[in-house]
Structure 1
Amino acid sequence: MVDLPVRSVFAVGAALMGLGALYFAVRGLDAEGPRSRGLHVVTALVPTIAFGSYLAMALGVGVAEVPVRGGTLEVHWARYADWLFTTPLLLIALGLLVGADTETVFGAVAADAFMIVTGIAATLSGVRLYRYAWWGVSTVAFLLVLYYVFVALGRRARELGEATRETYGVLRGLVGVTWAGYPVWWLVGTAGVGLVPPPMEVLGFTFLDLVAKVGFGTVLLRSRAVADATDASGSDPSSGVSVD
């Protein structure tokens, strides 16, 4: 049973995600060109999915109790369902921004999906040793995701103009810092060593989600002028390099 303070955090998270989704949707109404529209759709869709997840948890849905040695562990599985959809979308947005090839984006999304699935396995494992083992596998997959973000997609970003490079650099740093916070927070939380009590754990994950989703979208929309010009000319306006 989810207690009132935790539900309150979920409710605040739902409200902020909903406001972010509405803001991004309105910003995208007059987007020009397929790439610009794609960026706006993805940007609005991410917090929309998160809004549904947080609303469900605020209403007591999307929560399960997993039997572990010595008792039970409360698992907010709706959060993992959220991540399974939203994190690939964030990587797709990065790919759209730099005009990455399909193979690179697919590789990043596949590594990300494996990271989330193994993270779910870690959380649902009733044996502590198994939880840590799955956490390790998920963390290795996360390092592979970082490879795609910092190396593979980053290489493509360096071929483009200054405006796109700067925007991608900020987004890359945001993803690297916030996404790294998830496995660390999991490890110190209730599913890990238990140093952080449940209300604080929920607050921490909510903060990370807001930065990783709404913060990401806010920064991404700064590239709208670049995306619009790219759609119109077929090249990055500040470099002349084709992104098709």
Structure 2
Amino acid sequence: MQSLTTGQYDLIYNAFSFGFATLAAATIFFWLGRSQVAPQYKTAMTITGLVTFIAAYHYFRISESWGLAFDVKDGVVTTTGYAFNQAYRYVDWLLTVPLLLVELILVMGLSRSETISRATRLGLLAALMIILGYPGEVAETVSARWFWGIASMIPFLWIVYELFSGLSKSIENQPEDARGLISAARYVVIGSWAFYPIVYFAGTVGMDGGTATVVIEVGYTIADITAKAVFGVLIFLIAVRKSQPYFDRQNAKVQPAE
């Protein structure tokens, strides 16, 4: 933190600003998009927008904390004594990561019992993953970061198993024109989440100082935008595609009799 250049400082600040703008715009899009989906998928779209809203709020607070933590004068970046609050990210993830999995389950339109069991199990695993990762994020030693990082990978791998093995049969029962999108959403979740451990361990594999800070903060921002905004767009497209029969029926009802 203490060896940042002005370019590195600005890059991180701009990444936070871009993250806030993207997630805030996505929130508006998802909530307005509720009118384009059938009633059974409106809850999924509400949660999708809630995820990006929570993330946008925390990106605002993250950028605010970043600005308070540093002072830039004459091209030199110095710390102010106000610590950059890394807990904002983990509070955000603790709220949004379980909801990401819930919105995927909801948009699939599974039976009530399967929806409750899968959403509860995946949500708890996601929360456990975040809780185990935080001590390593603020740890002062490399060994502690490795320990907690590896511990958080256990529920992560369990989630991967659930998404690829547990949901395979359920995906096969989805409408044919929605299966590809659901499968893509599943890959986006795993792909974006797999990026987090890479960023998490950046400071333990030879990177240090400003470079490690840039990789961590910008990397997390890219992963958040992908996991929440991009994933949310896929959820919206799935809901729209699965809603088409409902709107076809509604349109048929209002057609004038010949």
TM-score of the two chains, using structure 1 as the length reference:
0.81
* SS state at 2:93 partner: helix
Matched, 1:139 2:153: yes
Q: Which amino acid aligns with 2:214?
A: P
Equivalent pair of 1:84/1:116 in contact (CA under 8 Å): yes
Q: Which deviations, in whole Å up to 9, do the C-alpha atoms of 1:122-142 show, x marking residues without a partner?
A: 112333222211111111211
Aligned length: 222
Counterpart residue number, 1:184: 198
Matched, 1:50 2:55: yes
Matched, 1:223 2:238: yes
* SS state at 1:28 partner: helix
Equivalent pair of 1:31/1:37 in contact (CA under 8 Å): yes
Matched, 1:99 2:112: no
Counterpart residue number, 1:213: 228
* SS state at 1:60 partner: helix
Higher relative contact order (CA 8 A, sep 6+): 2
In structure 2, how many angstroms separate the alpha carbons of the residues matched to 1:208 and 1:55?
17
Of 31, 53, 62, 1:25 maps to 31
Of 125, 128, 144, 2:139 maps to 125
Of 161, 164, 168, 2:178 maps to 164
Q: Root-mean-square deviation (CA), in Å? A: 2.6
Counterpart residue number, 1:84: 94
Equivalent pair of 1:57/1:63 in contact (CA under 8 Å): no
Q: Show structure 1 runs of 5+ residues with no match.
A: 65-72, 233-244
Summarize the Cα distance change of 1:106–1:231 in structure 2 as closer, same or farther, 3 Å threshold.
farther
TM-score of the two chains, using structure 2 as the length reference:
0.77
* SS state at 1:160 partner: coil
Equivalent pair of 1:115/1:142 in contact (CA under 8 Å): yes
Q: Which deviations, in whole Å up to 9, do the C-alpha atoms of 1:109-163 show, x marking residues without a partner?
A: 1111111100112112333222211111111211011111111123211122212
Summarize the Cα distance change of 1:62–1:50 in structure 2 as closer, same or farther, 3 Å threshold.
farther
In structure 1, how many angstroms separate the alpha carbons of the residues matched to 2:143 and 2:192?
26
Equivalent pair of 1:122/1:133 in contact (CA under 8 Å): yes
Summarize the Cα distance change of 1:159–1:128 in structure 2 as closer, same or farther, 3 Å threshold.
same
Counterpart residue number, 2:78: none
Equivalent pair of 2:66/2:84 in contact (CA under 8 Å): no
Between structures 1 and 2, the one with greater helix share: 2
Q: Which moved more, 1:197-206 or 1:73-82?
A: 73-82
Of 133, 143, 148, 2:162 maps to 148
Post-superposition shift, 1:208? 1.1
* SS state at 2:140 partner: coil
In structure 2, how many angstroms separate the alpha carbons of the residues matched to 1:20 and 1:91?
18
In structure 1, how many angstroms separate the alpha carbons of the residues matched to 2:68 and 2:167?
36
Q: Which amino acid aligns with 1:217?
A: G
Q: Which deviations, in whole Å up to 9, do the C-alpha atoms of 1:82-127 show, x marking residues without a partner?
A: 1111111110011112234111221111111111100112112333
Equivalent pair of 2:24/2:52 in contact (CA under 8 Å): yes
For the pair shown, the structure with the greater C-alpha radius of gyration is: 2
Q: Show structure 2 runs of 5+ residues with no match.
A: 70-82, 248-258
Summarize the Cα distance change of 1:135–1:107 in structure 2 as closer, same or farther, 3 Å threshold.
same
Matched, 1:39 2:44: yes
* SS state at 1:59 partner: helix
